[in-house]
Amino acid sequence: MSTKYQKSEEVPTKELLDRVGELIRAITGDRTASSFRNEFTMRIPAEVDRDADLVLQAIADRLDKAEKELAVAKAMSAKQANEIDRLRSVIEAESSKWKDHHDDQQWKAYWTAFAKKVHP
Mean pLDDT, range 37-52, rounded to an integer: 88
Task: State yes or no: pLDDT of 30 exceeds 80.
Answer: no
pLDDT tens, residue by residue, 84-106: 988 888 888 777 766 655 566 77
**Mean of pLDDT over the chain:** 84
pTM: 0.64
pLDDT band, residue 63 (cuts 50/70/90): very high
Mean pLDDT, range 1-6, rounded to an integer: 74
Task: State yes or no: pLDDT of 67 exceeds 60.
Answer: yes
Dihedral sign of CA atoms 99, 103, 104, 108 in order: negative
Task: State yes or no: pLDDT of 1 exceeds 60.
Answer: no
Task: State yes or no: pLDDT of 55 exceeds 60.
Answer: yes
- For residues 22 and 43, give the distance between their C-alpha atoms in angstroms, rounded to a whole number: 17
Rounded to 5 degrees, φ, ψ at 7 are: -130, 150
Question: How high is the pLDDT of residue 101?
Answer: 59
Contact 59, 11 (CB under 8 A): no
